[in-house]
Amino acid sequence: MKPFLPFTRPSIDADSIAAVADVLRSGQIASGPKVLAFEAALSAYIGSQRRVRVMTSATEGLEIALDVAGVGEGDEVIVPAMSFAASANVVARVGAKPVFVDIELDTRNLDLSRVEAAITPRTRAIMPVHFSGLPVDMDRLYGIAAQRGLRVVEDAAHAIGSRHRERPIGSFGDLVVFSFHPNKNMTTIEGGAIATADAGEAEAIEIRRFHGIKRNAAGEVDVLLPGAKANLSDVAAQIGIDQLRRLDGFNARRRQLAARYFEELAGDASLVLPARGDTGHSWHMFTVLIDFAARGTTRPAFQKAMAERGIGIGVHYPSIPGLAYYRAQGHRPEDFPVAARVGRETVTLPLFPAMSDADVARVCEALRAQLTERPRLKSAAS
């Protein structure tokens, strides 16, 4: 029997493991020289002399970025109605209100044609998500923001290494937040980063990520605000340094695997495939839509049946307005029909650099077989 194929798996090589062991032996395992080296490497990779500050997660990064952008009590932030819950949670955590806007069916990105109608006098920022690593239309996004005097906090959790018109995501724009969670294109185990062009805002990020502390020229400590405890460790940073040197190779392989999925699944009327994008897409995930209700089954039953065939299937993501907390705030998923459909029908197929072309063929063979076995689908929920 073939081994179980998960929907994702980080690629950590022996050199990285050895380098982590060296950091552990050094005794400097909290924030230190490796964090500084990682930030410098990220800045060089992104380019355009951007200032990069790392932290323990992209969620902390988004919250800190909103705070630095001046978003607070009574403000509104435009958020796509389909994303990971953190995209909206961080807005609520700074005391602001997430204003949901529907997404595009093919790209799964924020529908920019609907953004203008969602802007009110209380809107302070737009927070798009580059879903699966496919950049939003940056020219149009920043055109709207400039015309309306709004900040942009890019949720680029999926998009390290993605490019828009040959420019790396993070090399331009306002505040750009990356994720290095284990299921992302590169990892620090847990971690994230903010890229900005503004030196003052980079300092504000540093202060907020570590207790609000600022030291004077003599090294004396003062606390300027009630900051977070979100500083990255040198152990995590060392993993990031080694992952970053391999990132372009990781992403090149992801693009090859995505191309194989398109070849294998072309013309399958039972699936809605994602938008292909262009060579700037980093393919963090490969998600397809299946109308489970029309097939007389449920998504959990489908996942269970695929697991029995040795294939791990993820769900990215439910519609945020349909989650209990946001329903309690008065949001209705039916007000965002595309997000509701994607949230209801989406499944995530295996995609990670260590996969072979044969693995893709195996996934697609199992997928086709499962979609044609209607009786098995119906009974899988039992």
Q: Please list the active-site residues.
A: 184
Q: Which residues contact 4 (CB under 8 A, 6 or more apart)?
A: 307, 310, 311, 312
Are residues 156 and 170 in contact, defined by beta-carbon separation less than 8 angstroms? Answer: yes
Q: What are phi and psi of 48, to 5 degrees?
A: 60, 25
Are residues 176 and 160 in contact, defined by beta-carbon separation less than 8 angstroms? Answer: no
H/E run at residue 79: strand 76-80
Q: Which residues contact 298 (CB under 8 A, 6 or more apart)?
A: 292, 381
Give which of 303, 178, 310 is closest to 247, Cα–Cα: 178
Give the chain's length: 382
210: left (phi over 0), alpha (psi -120 to 50) or beta: beta
Query: Distance between CA 205 and CA 67 in Å, rounded?
Result: 9
Are residues 86 and 59 in contact, defined by beta-carbon separation less than 8 angstroms? Answer: yes
Give which of 129, 72, 138, 140 is closest to 102, Cα–Cα: 129
Query: Distance between CA 9 and CA 161 in Å, rounded?
Result: 18
Give which of 182, 180, 149, 174 is closest to 42, Cα–Cα: 180
Query: Distance between CA 170 and CA 211 in Å, rounded?
Result: 26
